[in-house]
């Protein structure tokens, strides 16, 4: 019985392939297909519903229902049995459709006489395309073999829909990957860019979903799976020294590669008429569908592993490697699910922007994007499914928005925005050599943040007076092993030379949380942002800290040296870290090495607790830099990785500004230099308010220096402070409104 059904399935697929090969418009093909399926499955009705938008399904072809209902009958996602199939991405098989929960009667179709219902999703790699339905008058449940056969047919329809076989009039028959699409993600790095899509992992295109010779396809699959297993074994052998987490991932790869269940399901797909490639993709699509409904993060990660493994297998079968021979466009915008820091740096400044489906504001990719000063949008869900190499794309890092294949009106408005920003930057260039001095005579030091040697040319071009934060972790994150001390000495020396005597604040290794070194054992923590990170790692594992401090001392080679310890939460942590640095200086003295001309030792204030440290701390530390990004999230108890809450809290909240005022007062009392480093330092209004509250040094990305300096030079900071104090005294919960009113009164 099974063999007969399999033969019928192969016969149906061959007929389907022949039908698709015939000339005709998309609607004609759909009509022929519904007739073919109904005839082959001996059912009175076969209908194809396709999405006309993300939430609406449209009846596009039918055999058995009233012809006038085609392109007239529509339903929302989740509405009726068809909508339920689409929403859950799983079949519904019932002998009594009207009695099913959620059944919706569509009178214009004439379907009231049909009792049995079988609906399966038409989907490809997580992309919902539509629903394929068969119905009959006889009250019976369709057999497992019939369900399976219809799923195989739906998979082929999905593949052919992807290839544009059903293009016609109307939204539901619009060509895929041709229409404008808007993605709302989150800001990883500010800035705007226009360019063309460059996929980090180009999509595998399957042009032969149906095969005539199952034995040949079975042999191809077995050969490819054997090659896959060998490659996974090789990865485990060559990465013998990796940490436990990476080894677990590779072991999961090996487990899936050797899974008999996975291979058996693909073999069954081939037996029913699919090519080896189509069988792999069918199982991959099923895994993607399961992924959407799995709440457990560990299982979701394992399904990601299976997804990645399927892509590897598809590339082996098709020969479509990462290098497809396509040339990178002149203005490439990188689109990827996720990407590591080393891979992103390999692309370098050729990229105009980056768009990721995953990522986080503190991820490796975000750090590198900031260092490269390129716009980054994260959490742009499903963009890798929708985008094709060469597609026109607009990236708005300021708003966390991406326009794929935009309409000309949108593109024109976007270009106007970029032109205005460019014109403003041109105006700001005239301020490059002028000081950031308010009308009241208050002088604000303008420093820049950096993380790569390539950033240092911006010192002169931006008008920055120094580097207020040099992130040293990038040199650790982009390597597969701990960098050697000599390598770090050379890098730090080049940074100091490139600065040409300007002050560079080197922040020691800030790892942990979402910045995990590839060669470091990951510590599983329920809340890593408040866990074992930064100075805590350095004090608990002093070997790397000592090596880094030695490298900084030797790189200075008689020049001034400024070192800042990150994420200091209490005085004892700073005292211990400072002692490490002084001990290394003494050790270098004994070795006869050149010592820095002078040494400044500071701390980054990122936790509210440090603001309440003993007076001795403020007297001992040479300087404090407020790490605004972390401080704000801890002050408001609002995770900056959580889009639901991060935007609810404003730096100009009265409580937060009063807290900043308290820090300013404590530093003034102890004679401690104070600066502010973070995203808010680069926003003109926020920066002006920080300056008005008494902070005299701001550190930001180079592109923000011009706008901030422009505003500060146009206002009286003392009058701004008076306006803020007046609003606070009047009970204002947030100062943004009063500040904006005051700026308007100044004709700014």
Angle (nearest 5°) at CA 494 between 489 and 500: 130
| 440 part of the active site | no
- What phi, psi does 362 have (nearest 5°)? -110, 10
Catalytic annotation, pick one of 60, 71, 304, 364:
364
Which helix or strand (DSSP H or E) is residue 135 part of? Answer: strand 127-136
Would you say 588 and 549 are in contact if contact means Cβ atoms under 8 Å apart?
no
Catalytic annotation, pick one of 46, 60, 677, 689:
677
- Return the sign of the alpha-carbon dihedral for residues 188, 189, 194, 200: negative
Q: Is 251 helix (H, G, I), strand (E, B) or coil?
A: helix
How many DSSP H helices and E strands does the chain contain? Answer: 27, 23
Kindly list the strands in the beta sheet with 392-396, ordered across the sheet, starting from the edge strand earlier in the chain: 181-184, 401-404, 392-396, 192-199, 332-336, 353-356, 376-378, 186-189
- β strands within 171-296, DSSP E: 181-184, 186-189, 192-199
Two tokens, residue 615: 């007076």
| 677 part of the active site | yes
Angle (nearest 5°) at CA 536 between 535 and 539: 80
Would you say 713 and 436 are in contact if contact means Cβ atoms under 8 Å apart?
yes
CA distances (Å), origin 53, targets 61, 175, 556: 17, 12, 60
CA distances (Å), origin 183, targets 16, 46, 87, 305, 401: 35, 34, 20, 25, 6
Question: The tokens 């021979």 sit on which residue?
Answer: 325
Question: What secondary structure letter does DSSP report for 110?
Answer: T
Name residue 599's beta-bridge partners: 561
Residue-by-residue DSSP string for 714-728: TS-HHHHHHHHHHHH
- What phi, psi does 451 have (nearest 5°)? -150, -10
Q: Is 700 helix (H, G, I), strand (E, B) or coil?
A: strand
Secondary structure, 3-state, 588-640: HHHCCCCCCCCEEEEEEECCHHHHHCCHHHHHHCCEEEEEHHHHHHHHCCCCC
- Return the sign of the alpha-carbon dihedral for residues 648, 652, 654, 655: positive
| Cβ atoms < 10 Å from Cβ of 397 | 25
Tell which phi-psi region holds residue 75, choosing left (phi > 0), alpha (psi between -120 and 50) or beta.
Answer: beta
- What phi, psi does 466 have (nearest 5°)? 170, 180
Angle (nearest 5°) at CA 275 between 274 and 276: 115
- List the one residue out of 146, 266, 155 whose CA is nearest residue 214: 266
H helix runs in 22-53, sequence order: 26-40
Residue-by-residue DSSP string for 165-193: TT--SSSTTPPTTTS-EEEE-EEEE--EE
Would you say 279 and 259 are in contact if contact means Cβ atoms under 8 Å apart?
no
Render the burial of 225-251: b for 16+ CB within 10 Å, e for the rest: beebeeebeeeeeeeeebeeebeebbe
Between CA 110 and CA 97 the distance in angstroms is 14
CA distances (Å), origin 143, targets 2, 116, 148, 271, 748: 11, 12, 9, 17, 73
Catalytic positions are 364, 677
């Amino acid at each position: 019985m099974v063999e007969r059904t399999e033969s019928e399935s192969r016969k149906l697929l061959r007929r389907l392939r022949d039908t698709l090969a015939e000339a005709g418009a998309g609607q004609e093909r759909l009509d022929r297909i519904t007739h073919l399926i109904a005839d082959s499955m001996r059912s009175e009705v076969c209908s194809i519903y396709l999405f006309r938008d993300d939430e609406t399904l449209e009846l596009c072809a039918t055999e058995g229902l009233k012809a006038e209902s085609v392109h007239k009958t529509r339903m929302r996602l989740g509405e009726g049995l068809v909508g339920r199939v689409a929403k859950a991405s799983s079949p519904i098989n019932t002998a009594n459709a009207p009695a099913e929960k959620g059944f919706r009667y569509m009178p214009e179709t004439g379907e009231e006489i049909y009792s049995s219902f079988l609906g399966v999703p038409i989907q490809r790699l997580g992309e919902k395309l539509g629903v394929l339905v068969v119905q009959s008058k006889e009250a019976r449940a369709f057999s497992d073999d019939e369900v399976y056969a219809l799923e195989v047919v739906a998979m082929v329809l999905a593949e052919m829909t992807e290839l544009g076989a059903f293009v016609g009039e109307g939204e539901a028959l619009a060509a895929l990957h041709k229409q404008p699409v808007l993605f709302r993600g989150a800001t990883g790095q500010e800035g705007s860019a226009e360019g063309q899509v460059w996929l980090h992992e180009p999509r595998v295109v399957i042009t032969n979903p149906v095969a005539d010779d199952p034995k040949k396809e079975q042999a191809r699959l077995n050969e490819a799976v054997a090659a896959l297993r060998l490659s996974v074994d090789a990865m485990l052998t060559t990465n013998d020294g990796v940490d436990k987490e990476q080894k677990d991932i590779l072991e999961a790869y090996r487990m899936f590669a050797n899974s008999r269940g996975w291979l058996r399901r693909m073999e069954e797909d081939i037996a029913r008429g699919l090519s080896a490639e189509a069988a792999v993709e069918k199982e991959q699509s099923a895994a993607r569908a399961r992924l959407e409904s799995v709440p457990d993060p560990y299982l979701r990660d394992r399904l990601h592993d299976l997804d990645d493994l399927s892509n590897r297998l598809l590339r082996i079968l098709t020969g479509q490697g990462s290098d497809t021979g396509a040339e990178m466009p002149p203005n490439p915008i990188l689109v990827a699910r996720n990407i590591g820091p080393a891979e992103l740096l390999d692309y370098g400044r050729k990229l105009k922007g980056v768009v990721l489906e995953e990522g986080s504001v503190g991820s490796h990719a975000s750090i590198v994007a900031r260092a490269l000063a390129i716009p980054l949008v994260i959490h742009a869900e499903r963009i890798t499914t929708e985008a094709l190499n060469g597609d026109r794309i607009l990236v708005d890092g300021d708003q966390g928005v991406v326009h794929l294949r935009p309409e000309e009106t949108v593109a024109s408005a976007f270009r106007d925005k970029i032109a205005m920003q460019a014109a403003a930057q041109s105006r700001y260039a005239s301020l490059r050599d002028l000081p950031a001095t308010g009308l009241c005579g208050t002088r604000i030091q303008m420093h820049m943040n950096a993380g790569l040697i390539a950033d240092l040319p911006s010192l002169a071009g931006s008008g920055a007076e120094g580097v207020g934060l040099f992130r040293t972790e990038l040199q650790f994150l982009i390597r597969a092993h701990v960098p050697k001390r000599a390598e770090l000495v050379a890098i730090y020396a080049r940074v100091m030379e490139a600065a040409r005597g300007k002050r560079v604040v080197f922040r020691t290794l800030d790892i942990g949380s979402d910045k995990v070194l590839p060669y470091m054992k990951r510590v599983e923590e329920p809340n890593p942002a408040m866990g074992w990170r930064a100075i805590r790692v350095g004090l608990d594992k002093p070997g790397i800290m000592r090596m880094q401090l030695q490298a900084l001392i030797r790189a200075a080679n008689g020049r001034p040296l400024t070192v800042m310890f990150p994420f200091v939460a209490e005085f004892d942590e700073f005292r211990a870290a400072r002692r490490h640095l002084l001990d290394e200086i003494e050790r270098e003295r004994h070795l006869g090495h050149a010592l820095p001309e002078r040494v400044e030792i500071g701390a980054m204030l990122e936790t509210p607790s440090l603001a309440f440290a003993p007076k001795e701390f403020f007297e001992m530390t040479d300087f404090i830099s407020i790490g605004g990004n972390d401080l704000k999230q801890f002050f408001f108890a609002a995770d900056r990785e959580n889009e639901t809450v991060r935007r609810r809290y404003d730096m100009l909240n009265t409580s937060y500004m009063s807290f900043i005022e308290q820090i300013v007062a404590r530093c003034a009392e102890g004679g401690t230099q104070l600066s502010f480093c973070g995203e808010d330092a680069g926003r003109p209004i926020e920066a002006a308010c920080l300056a008005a509250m008494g902070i005299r040094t701001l550190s930001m990305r180079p592109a923000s220096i011009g706008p901030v300096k422009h505003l500060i030079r146009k206002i009286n900071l003392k009058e701004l402070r008076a306006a803020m104090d007046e609003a606070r005294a009047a009970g204002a919960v947030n100062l943004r409104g009063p500040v904006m009113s005051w700026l308007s009164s100044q004709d700014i």
